[in-house]
Chains A and B, each alone.
Chain A
Amino acid sequence: MKFKVNNHEVFASTGGRPFDKKKPLIIFVHGSGLTHMTWVLQTRYFAFHGYNALAIDLPGHGLSSGDSLKSIEQMADWVNDVIDAVGHKEASLVGHSQGCLVTVECTSRYPDKIKTLSLMGGAGAIPMNPELLSLAENNDPKAVDLMMDWAHGPAGHFGGHPVPGLYHINTGTMLAKSRTIQNTLGVDFRACDNYKNGFEAAKKIKCPTLSILATDDKMCPVKEGKKLASLIDGSQVDIIDNCGHMMLLEEADRVLTVLKKFITTNYPPLSS
């Protein structure tokens, strides 16, 4: 669906179900340079099981208009604006990678509004490799190729997509190249690199929190994810074997099973 935030049109997938104000809201926030499509194997399930599952495209990404936001803090406020814009008072947040920084910051800023937080491939800080950052800022497609290499675990490099016929690395590459690289990936990487408040923000989080980490994640290694989780009161951690940073696709079913249990327990759906 499309709606406006700060006068810019925002696109969000609703997982194939019409938006229904009566249902509790889950917002899915994608990673650097990516789009709502990374969530397709999670959102549709929630949309068909009593939730409004809103996989947003950040400004300037995917099908959303406007310029990309330059800082994680701005993105966090923007996610809060999305909750208001769709007429809800509260939401559960799910983030991947950069989306974890955004949702951690957002939850710490708006503790009354955010009911649960689910982090995938998250860390308290995501410092960028300077060469990768510079390639992305210079619009070099090699930045995307490097990201796709590092983001997929050894198993993901062979393929084995949960949806028959789809090939991970090329699909991710096309998503990340669907808009101008320097305006999406370049701005996002810089925002990640600049963001220093992750650990402080984490300490303020009181809502039920889940971290899904993967043993072969090179971008946000398990150690970093655990460090972040240890700062969040009562945070739950789930570690997936044989999987890289793109766990939401590489091991979509495992992720969905864990996420389903966590969200339905802590933020129940509207029963039909």
Chain B
Amino acid sequence: MTDKKKELKPNTYKFDTLSLHAGYQPHKNAGSRQVPIYQTTSYLFDDVDHAAALFNLERGGHIYSRISNPTVGVLEERVASLEGGTAALATSSGMSAIFLTVMTLCEAGDHLVVSSQLYGGTVNLFRLTLPKFGIKCTFVKPRDTEGFKKAIQKNTKGIFGELVGNPGNEIMNMPEIAKIAHDAGIPLMVDATYQTPYLCKPFEHGADIVIHSLTKWMAGHGSSMAGILVEGGKFDWMQNDKFPTMTKPYEGYHGLSFAEEFGPTAFTMKARAEGMRDFGPCLSPQNAWNVLQGIETLSVRMKKHCSNAEEMVKYLSNHESVAWVSHPSVPDHPDHELAKKLLPNGRGSMIAFGIKGGKDAGVAFINNVKLASHLANVGDTRTLVIHPASGTHSQMDEATLKFAGLSHDMIRLSVGIEDIDDIKNDFEIGFRAARKPRLVSNQ
């Protein structure tokens, strides 16, 4: 009797649709199909009662664009929806998103366990700057899952890592490390900049807070700085007494307990109400809009980024001028299997490779490619290259380079979405120059 009945299925919007629509209702914005740029600092109150209600978090709404802005709000909801998160807070850069996350979680005297393979700016924050605020960190190699457990102390408030380390492409075993964090009653924070929610949704693998430098693939076009922290909503702040600023009455809002009142969105509410209010790294509405434009085509771009990257991996692996190639799609990559599990839609577009001929060859390659851009960014629509040993890390000696996971021959490549043949042809120019450095550079 019931056999023929159609199975009930939720009809909530799916990823590609959310990329274009989430967080925005045209009928509340003069019917404007595109998200308007609310270029304003502040918002009219209806009356004094309304003003007081907004300040007391009695009702939702905007007060001042440092705290929130309607255009930025659309971006926040859109990224929350794509990640499968409950709430998000956008910031002026990826670094400020990481800083706000830590400052929302920690007090002076607290400790974090941190993956050692992180973006250099993040390493500086954890190693040099946070100790100035009384927050100490223990670094653990991303593959050393047990090491994360051993490094947890009584005052540890969380674990932080990037899913795929930079530049060595080492992958953190997120589900196992999440379990270690949760057994210790602390959250796992993951910087998923390199993946975007198209490649991996860390909340599905146990992460509690996800951070993005939206500057990179999410915005995608190399035009705008932006960052975001996203909350998964599962972490129970009240399970122990480690997070009093989340669970106890907060003086700054008439005794509000964020965990009691806002439960699955408590962390974001606190990050905004306290962190954004007091530190102030707000995102401009224009940049939020630029990022939204990028996110509209996230799936389309990421597919092309990944397919171009896999083509480049093949090309480089077979090239006479290349000593080695590191990318999770390479079968002998130590985390090849884990990558398949955590990154089923593609392994990302960051490749590291060694050029034969060492540092001089690297310099010649970088100085001679014409299409690939030599600059300090990743995740542009255009192909980007950098030779850390001669540029960003030129002060380092061999041993320090090695500790940072770098070598003299390493070139880091962020594969763009140009025609793949044009990228390869450009690399041929670079490799030719690398084989005969002087000859080409004298041309």
Contacts and interface: CB of A to CB of B under 8 A. Distances in A.
Given A40-B262, A174-B234, A16 B255 contact: yes
Contact of B60 (A35, A37, A41, A149): A41
Interface stretch (A23-31, A93-101, A164-172): A164-172
Given A167-B86, A174-B264, A253 B60 contact: yes
B315 interface: no
Interface stretch (B10-18, B94-102, B152-160): B10-18
Interface string A149-176: 1000001011111111111011100110
Q: Count chain A CB atoms within 10 A of each CB in B13, B22, B60, B87 and give the residue with the most.
A: B60
B68 interface: yes
Nearest to B67: A164
Interface stretch (A73-81, A140-148, A193-201, A227-235): A140-148
B261 interface: yes
A159 B77 contact: yes
A174 B267 CA distance: 14
Residue from the set B28, B59, B62, B254 with the largest chain A CB neighbour count within 10 Å: B59
B37 to A, nearest CB: 16
Interface in B60-74: 60-62, 67-70, 72-74
Interface string B390-415: 00000000000000000000000000
Contacts of B234: 174, 177
Contacts of B60: 41, 161-164, 166, 252-253
B265 A160 contact: no
B30 interface: no
A170 B263 CA distance: 12
A66 interface: no
A175 to B, nearest CB: 6
B166 interface: no
Given A45-B53, A167-B86, A162 B77 contact: no
B260 A256 contact: no
A21 B12 CA distance: 44
Interface string A74-93: 00000000000000000000
Given A13-B261, A41-B59, A165-B68, A159 B24 contact: yes
A86 B401 CA distance: 66
Interface residues of B, number: 60
B264 A157 contact: no
Interface in A106-134: 129, 131-132
A141 to B, nearest CB: 10
B335 interface: no
B86 A174 contact: yes
Contacts of A215: none
19 contacts: A13-B260, A15-B261, A41-B60, A62-B263, A131-B8, A132-B8, A148-B12, A149-B12, A157-B13, A159-B77, A160-B28, A164-B72, A165-B68, A165-B89, A165-B265, A169-B12, A174-B232, A242-B27, A256-B59
Interface of B: 5, 8-13, 21-25, 27-28, 52-53, 56-62, 67-70, 72-74, 76-78, 80-81, 84-90, 232-234, 238, 253-257, 260-265, 268-269, 272
